[in-house]
Amino acid sequence: MTNYIPEQGRPWDDIREEMQGMRGRDLDWRHGRHGAYVWYAGDDLEDVLREAYGMFLVENGLGIRVFPSIQRMEAEVLATAADLLSAPEGSAGIFTSGGTESIFLAIYAAREWARATLPDIAVPEFVAPHSAHPALNKAAHLLGMTVTRVPVGPDFRADPAALEAAISPSTIGIYCSAPTYSLGLVDPVPAISEVAAARGLWLHVDACVGGILAPSVRELGYAVPPFDFANAGVTSISADLHKSGFLAKPASTVTFRTAGHHAYARYRFDDWPSGLYQGFNFTGSRPGGPIAAAWAGQQFLGREGYRRLAASSMRTKEALITSLGEIPGFRLHGQSDLWSFAFALDGVAAPALAGAMFKRGWVTGVTTSPAGIHVMPTPVHEPFSDEYVHAIRECAAEVQAGSAPEAAPARYN
């Protein structure tokens, strides 16, 4: 094998230059060519995130008791998430490495809760709409649980009656999204919350995409459907700081309705030579950088900054839907509630359209049910929305003329 560490260290100027060169063929997110992976809200915020991250690069949140600085920043970011999600007094949260860890911890806590309160269930099950993010299945797979997915309703949102009908003697919880990744739709949480409460089940709301910015969208006067802890049956909510919080990766939150629910996510072990080892995260060492950057970024943006990002995201969506709507055969998939949406052009196969877009440098997600194109507008996309629509028009014409390159497969990554 090759060992890439040079015998003698190299000057940083050299190394930086080589790294800049490596970026040459990377996704051009600064020009809004992306539909996933990147949330960017301007160089001024990026500078703050980079510097704050660097200030706490070496510190480790695993040893939180010796870093009161990290402890305070983490507590304030978690309290803010709880406030944004209308969590009641006594709620408690965990700062995590992303949506997948937040969801994992919620499902883990639910499993531990079920072990304590429903001991007859051997293999616990979650019931979810087909639109749920794969992180749910990943968590269940790792935790020895099962997931039953049921079809969504005709409006492409979770169908509360179908979820209820799927509940079995092994069901311990229900899962829904605010919004779903693929179509940007907020599931009918109030009705699902009633089912969960009536059946005594855990209800997790995956607000990884929307949880942090949706309250600002609502403040702007948009009618965002209710999805948070104001619904009495909601037990836990995941909300990513590194998505619509526009903060540095890796950073997310999971909030539990009560300290009791939160306590089920704790892992403790002491049968080894160094005594008690405990914590709430899947990870052991926890970088101080993302916690510091999250706190600093929120202080820098302020509520006004978040309203600005929300306004830009919503304006971009509206402009895109208006312009795309002028293309013959345009169909919006469901009534998008926040900034993301999906659409189809009748007579134009979405994978072929995405393949043609990819050839031109646009990384475009494909949805399968229903078949379509996924769009995740954020402020960095706003100046490029006309270019995007122009590219879609040209690519659609190519597809219809049979001259499009290879179709893009439906894959997230």
Ligand X SMILES: Cc1ncc(COP(=O)(O)O)c(C=O)c1O
Site for ligand X, rule CB under 6 A:
98-100, 103, 133, 135, 177, 181, 206, 208-209, 240, 252
Minimal distance, residue 198 CB to ligand X, in Å: 26
Minimal distance, residue 124 CB to ligand X, in Å: 20
Nearest residue to ligand X, using CB? Answer: 99
Measured between alpha carbons, how far is residue 97 from residues 85, 101, 234, 276 in Å?
19, 6, 22, 23
Minimal distance, residue 182 CB to ligand X, in Å: 8
- Rounded CA-CA distance 104/96 in Å is 10
167 or 205: CB nearest ligand X: 205
CB 339 within 8 A of CB 376: yes
Backbone angles phi, psi at 172, to 5 degrees: -115, -15
Strand order across the beta sheet in which 125-129 lies: 92-96, 252-256, 236-240, 202-206, 171-177, 125-129, 146-150
Question: Which pair of structure tokens corresponds to residue 67?
Answer: 């870093």
Minimal distance, residue 71 CB to ligand X, in Å: 23
- Which residues lie across from 254 on neighbouring strands? 94, 238
125 or 206: CB nearest ligand X: 206
80 or 238: CB nearest ligand X: 238
Minimal distance, residue 389 CB to ligand X, in Å: 24
111 or 249: CB nearest ligand X: 249
Alpha helix (H) ranges present in 23-180? 43-55, 68-84, 99-117, 134-143, 160-166
67 or 181: CB nearest ligand X: 181
Minimal distance, residue 181 CB to ligand X, in Å: 3
107 or 352: CB nearest ligand X: 107
| Residues 394-402: contacts with CB under 8 Å, at least 24 apart | 395/353, 395/356, 395/357, 395/360, 396/327, 396/345, 396/348, 396/353, 398/356, 399/348, 399/349, 399/352, 399/353, 399/356, 400/347, 400/348
Minimal distance, residue 152 CB to ligand X, in Å: 14
Minimal distance, residue 188 CB to ligand X, in Å: 16
34 or 133: CB nearest ligand X: 133
- Rounded CA-CA distance 100/59 in Å is 23
251 or 296: CB nearest ligand X: 251
- Which residues lie across from 371 on neighbouring strands? 368
CB 29 within 8 A of CB 384: no
